Amino acid sequence: VNDRSYNALEIILVPGDRDRAAYDEYLQKFVPFYTLPFNDPRISILTQMFSVTTIPMLVMVDPVSGEIINASA
């Protein structure tokens, strides 16, 4: 990945569910991931920051600099 060296990969689920039942159902399928809580205010910030237009969407971000490594991983 662009000559960078990483020891681990962290996946954080930023839910785009419109209702709590859908969120809970999706969460049961992907328990091993970190996730933001349903209706967390950071969801809209991250959605705008990474120009999310469809879900699911995977964005790879450098954990130190915050630089986008791959916007459509």
pLDDT of residue 1: 46
Beta carbons within 10 angstroms of residue 32's beta carbon: 6
Beta carbons within 10 angstroms of residue 14's beta carbon: 20
pLDDT of residue 54: 87
pLDDT of residue 72: 82
Residue with the two structure tokens 């791959």: 70
pLDDT of residue 2: 52
pLDDT in tens, 23-73: 998 888 876 778 899 999 999 999 999 999 888 888 998 888 888 888 887
Strand partners, 60: 70
DSSP 36: P
Q: How confident is the model at residue 4 (pLDDT cuts 50, 70, 90)?
A: low
C-alpha–C-alpha distance, residues 48 and 23, integer Å: 20
